[in-house]
A = this chain, B = another copy of it.
């Protein structure tokens, strides 16, 4: 997917967590982000200049990107006027929501009339409509899993990929969500896949590779989320991970937006993920824990990481504060031992 960057990042009127698409792209692909457009009530801020579509186009923007991941993935009615304004200002549109822009009559008609393009990242290629086989593939695979949604699974996967590459390891980040796809330029929007084909799509996303190649696969959802656990399990089975890295938010006590569902303990989350992953890869093991400690003081954050590491006997990092070197040390040491054996 060749996306028309840079963009005017549209944040709508959502909270900080829902703007995670925009903030992820802004962090990992700053070249893709020229300015931001916020509606009254918006709690998110990328630290970019606020611009109208017309001003952004004049400043060099090629598209407006809907930088939001709301529950349900729909486009609220009152955003349509902004999309049309952007088209009229000369911008293409990029979206990763379930609602297809092409299904909004006025948006589709305006785009057609003006010759603008609609990029829909949540609209999966038919190549991913395949049934899983469970057949073992060559190469190494790491999957990030989570105690909840929006705890940093994509950020962890990108940081792990970067760290592996910095050590000369052949590694690919495999995107499974809209933000990851906007960053990588390819991938499969796994939660938009027809459920029968989720495991098959995950198999196709990380095909056979050289024995020392690592696919670092972005996890989705959580086995403990009452709405999304099925997506998580299909991705887990299809990915056949050799290694899991569990991601967690240190201050989250309940599943995001569902107060009656407590987040699981790390021990519970490790046990369930390993036991279910074993169906397609009995040799699966934990590679470490990534904890988002952004709401803790530096002292509390380091104490949290040290204590968790001691309690679980696994490398424990905050990708933002500490990087993920200790997790990658473990991956490569293990590989070296198995090569020597």
Contact = CB atoms under 8 A, between A and B. Distances in A.
A216 interface: no
B279 A199 contact: no
Interface bin, chain A: 35 or more
12 contacts: A73-B196, A98-B129, A132-B228, A134-B261, A191-B194, A191-B195, A192-B194, A195-B195, A195-B198, A226-B237, A226-B279, A230-B237
A203 B248 CA distance: 27
Contacts of A229: 199, 233-234, 237, 276, 279
Contacts of A226: 132-134, 199, 237-238, 279-280
A194 B230 CA distance: 11
Interface string A162-183: 0000000000000000000000
A256 to B, nearest CB: 12
A200 interface: yes
Most buried by B among A195, A232, A237, A261: A195
Contact of A134 (B134, B193, B227): B227
A237 B192 CA distance: 19
A224 interface: yes
Contact of A228 (B196, B231, B280): B196
Contact of A195 (B131, B132, B192, B224): B192
Contacts of A276: 229
Return the 8 tightest CB-CB contacts between A and B, nearest first. Answer: A230-B234, A134-B226, A132-B227, A191-B196, A230-B233, A195-B195, A230-B230, A195-B231
A208 B20 CA distance: 34
A260 interface: yes
Contacts of A200: 227
A258 interface: yes
Interface string A40-54: 000000000000000
A71 interface: yes
Contacts of A98: 129, 194, 196
Interface in A52-101: 71-73, 98
A187 to B, nearest CB: 15
A86 to B, nearest CB: 26
Contacts of A196: 73, 98, 191-192, 227-228, 231
A130 interface: yes
A156 interface: no
A190 interface: yes
A235 B227 CA distance: 10
Interface centre among A134, A194, A279 (most CB of B within 10 A): A194
Interface in A258-281: 258, 260-261, 276, 279-280
Interface in A91-150: 98, 129-134
Contact of A194 (B130, B194, B261): B194
